[in-house]
Amino acid sequence: MRAPVDLPGAAHLELTPSVVHLRPAEAVFEAMLTGWARQQQSRGLSVTTVGVRLEIVRRFATFTNSWPWDWTPADVEDWTASLRCRSRPLSHSTVRNYQNALGLFMDYVTDRRYGWQAECEAKFGTHPVQICHEWNTVRHISDHEARPRVRPLTRAELQRFFDHADEQVVRARRLGSKGWVAAFRDATLFKTIYAWGLRRREAAMLEVGDFTRNAAAPEFGSFGMCNVRYGKSTNGGPPRRRAVLTVMPWAVEALTEYVEKIRPVYRPGRQPTLWPTERGGRVRTTYIDIRFGQYRDELGLPAELHPHCLRHSYVTHLHEDGFDPFFVQQQSGHAHASTTALYTGVSNDYKNRVLRAALDRAFQEGGS
């Protein structure tokens, strides 16, 4: 037999032959998880991604009440059914991600190079097999699997939302409340998410130095470009960076006023975060969700709207305003134009204007 290969996560590196375990099955399972974590980290996957995947496999083990060398494809089917039959069923994409994590774990423990099959045969008289197959898992059938009810805000809804956010500043000031500073920060935060087409985490992680000049648009000063450092990663890799060019002058005015007059009130010192809190931290994505939901409900807007809809609105409105589709794709950080297209929900007014212009051209050509 060939000697075991010293790959990160190999069984002989995770299990010490001289150690006798009181609960061997539990010890081997934990060693598998530890080895899988090492194997993923050696491939450059983020700690967060690895941790999430490990937790999914642990949940599956709890559900089956058995060990990986005893798991069967039927267990996957039962587990999937339980995920979709909850009082709040998991979405198609979430179930697929769960199954994908489980399938990757089984790929690892059934790969002969890591030696787990031989280890299990020696200790338990059986070995793990791949249990996730095309016929018992959810397929990735679309580039975009968001809820179909999610949509961009109309321009009227967007204006109402921003006006309401500004009104909270005026109201708090009139009442003599210190909350006006946070209200001003939050209003500017929502405007920034929309005006640069940001995701929640991208916005929350912004620092003052992430805004820089753009030689092609000197009129925007220090806010001609937003350098996104925490863009959405792919396949568990590091965050993707992108540069978003400024296209909305009014947003520069709002952000300039906030940075120069309001942010210093928090006394951030050397803390570079763009959105500081009273306790010296930074605004979190959960806070963005809560505040957006509060304003949305106070205005009586549809409950399905959430902060990411501001990003949808950005993409839609750029298309409506005549920006080149490839430019919009680059601004959004989408690898494929099809994904950007799915973000777009042009308004009826825009479609009617396009239709009217086309009909006018057609009739003019026909009459000439």
Q: Is the Cβ–Cβ distance between 184 and 262 less than 8 Å?
A: yes
Query: Which pair of structure tokens corresponds to residue 87?
Result: 């009082």
Tens-digit pLDDT profile for residues 218-236: 999 999 999 999 888 765 5
Determine contact, residues 282/207, Cβ cutoff 8 Å.
no
Question: Burial letters for 279-307: b for 16+ Cβ neighbours within 10 Å, e otherwise?
Answer: eeebbeeebbeebbeebbeeeebeeebbb
Buried b (16+ CB within 10 A) or exposed e, 120-148: beebeeebbeebbeeeebbeeeeeebeee
Query: What is the average pLDDT value for the chain, to the nearest integer?
Result: 87
Which is nearest to 337 in space by CA: 349, 328, 350? 328
pLDDT digits (tens, 9 = 90+) for 246-264: 999 999 999 999 999 999 9
The one-letter amino acid code at 63 reads F
Q: What is the pLDDT along the chain (368 residues), one digit of tens a residue?
A: 454 568 999 999 998 877 777 899 999 999 999 999 999 998 888 888 899 999 999 999 999 999 999 999 999 999 999 998 877 888 888 898 899 999 999 999 999 999 999 999 999 999 999 999 988 888 644 444 455 556 899 999 999 999 999 999 999 999 999 899 999 999 999 999 999 999 999 999 999 999 999 999 999 999 999 999 988 876 556 778 999 999 999 999 999 999 999 999 999 888 899 999 998 899 999 999 999 999 999 999 999 899 999 999 999 999 888 888 888 888 988 765 555 555 566 555 655 665 666 667 766 765 55
DSSP string, 50-102: HHHHHHHHHHHHHHHTS-GGG--HHHHHHHHHHHHSSSSPPPHHHHHHHHHHH
pLDDT at residue 99, rounded to an integer: 94
**% of the chain exceeding 90 in pLDDT:** 65
Q: Mention every residue, 6+ apart, whose C-beta is less than 8 A from residue 210.
A: 226, 227, 228, 229, 274
Q: Give yes or no for a contact between 258 and 190, defined as CB atoms under 8 angstroms apart.
A: no
Contact status, residue 300 vs residue 216, Cβ threshold 8 Å: no
Pull the structure tokens for residue 181: 């500073």
